[in-house]
Amino acid sequence: DIVMTQSPDSLAVSLGERATINCKSSQSVLYSSNNKNYLGWFQQRPGQPPKMLFYWASTRDSGVPDRFSASGSGTDFNLTINSLQAEDVAVYYCHQYFTSPYTFGPGTKLEI
Amino acid sequence: QVKLVESGGGLVKPGGSLRLSCAASGFSFSDQYMTWVRQAPGKGLEWISHINPSSVYTEYAGSVKGRFIISRDNSKNSVFLQMNTLKAEDTAVYYCVGGVAADYWGQGILVTVSS
């Protein structure tokens, strides 16, 4: 199984500042035939279901503010949130859908 | 808009069974992989099973393999999870999820396994 790790476990960032979360996979999630990374990012606000932020590692989902960005390839990925807003308080998960069983990272709790 | 509504959750004794259902609308259900993801209280997300659009392929996490069965009915835009031989560690909120990349999520339904 592909093991996903995230760092840090939690972080506190001031309003208006930048937050960066790292995700690593135990093996590459890059499919060479189409050059796509099978990696997604999700936001889960307290008491809510997860919401997709990015797929294919860096493609922003519809309606996601452009202060959210994502990058990376192979086994190393980042999620960056610029100009942090109060509504960004959540747990953020990365998720590989390269090979079954698909797996999630343990989550990173973002606080103000 | 996309809507996924889970039903069938509740309290069940260890060793018992439960069948979850998920009704989908607002997207082309018959073209999409469907997945069940669960979240134990205070814990992270755990992918547990998915099924391809034609029901030919199903996959399971090791923690549920041999006990849970996923199925779907494209004529009713519904996906199901038959859960057998339930254990206390199966206690979780179960989410119905659409799309191979987990694009769409339901609100989730609580399953509690306790005597």
pLDDT at residue A103 above 90? Answer: yes
Map tokens 């790790």 to a residue. A5
Under 8 Å between Cβ of B39 and B95: yes
The residue among B107, B13, B101, B2 whose CA lies nearest residue B50 is B101
What is the per-residue pLDDT across B62-97, written as a single tens digit (0 to 9) for each?
A: 999 999 999 999 999 999 999 999 999 999 999 999
pLDDT tens digits, B22-38: 999 999 999 999 999 99
- Percentages of chain A per state (helix, strand, coil), in multiples of 5: 5, 50, 45
Neighbours of B33 (CB within 10 A): 21
Q: In this predicted model, what pLDDT tens digit does every residue of A8-28 receive, in sequence order?
A: 999 999 999 999 999 999 999
Supply B38's token pair: 């669960």
Mark yes or no for CB contact B108/A40 under 8 Å. no
Nearest CB among B46, B103, B107 relative to A49 is that of: B107
pLDDT (0 to 100) of residue A63: 94
Q: Which helix (H) or strand (E) holds B58?
A: strand B58-60
State the pLDDT at residue B100. 87
Share of chain B above pLDDT 70, in %: 100
Using the Cβ of A46 and the Cβ atoms of chain B, whether some distance falls under 8 Å is answered with no
Residues A60-101 have pLDDT tens digits of 999 999 999 999 999 999 999 999 999 999 999 999 999 999
Backbone angles phi, psi at B82, to 5 degrees: -90, 120
B41 part of contact set with chain A, CB < 8 Å: no
Per-residue model confidence (pLDDT) at position A77: 98
